Amino acid sequence: MSSLLLLTAVAEVPAEAAEPTYLGLNPGGWVAVAMLAVFALLIWKKVPGAVGRALDSKIALIRDQLAEAEALRKEAEALKTEYEAKAASIDKDREALLERARHEAEEIVAKARSDSEALIERRTRMAEDKIAAEERAAVEQLRAAAADAAAKATAKIIADRHDSATDAKLVDQAIKEIGR
């Protein structure tokens, strides 16, 4: 129902009625004047310059941050390159160290082998010398036993075959031979 009243009120407004004005300006004109006043005030207070300076300082700050970031990036790349070179050097050093350790281990094994062979040879020689000495001692003991047995046998044979007259004759003959 209120929309019906509104329509009837609009229908009752005569077409010749004009918008209200003040000092010859309608509401749209006053809005334009207010906008011009606000722009004039902004220009008079140097707001665009302040906004420009604020933007310039912000741009300078961003440029400084970008330059710092670029320097940090270059420094990081240099560190990365340095550490990659160090890692490669460490790998080479590790390989050289492993090769040297292998070579030293081979030398130690070869020396141990030759030392053990020399020790075995020396101990074999010592054992052979000991066996030879034991053989000589056994041979000499056997000779001594044989000589002792021969002497006893000879003494027994002589005792059985010779009597005191034969002994006197042998002693006389030995004395004659010594006197010559």
What's the pLDDT tens digit per position in 11-64? Answer: 455 555 567 777 888 888 889 999 999 988 888 888 887 888 889 899 999 999
From 40, 35, 42, 12, select the one nearest 27 (Cα to Cα): 35
Q: Are 30 and 22 in contact (CB under 8 A)?
A: yes
> How far apart are alpha carbons 53 and 48 in whole angstroms?
8
Q: pTM for the whole thing? A: 0.36
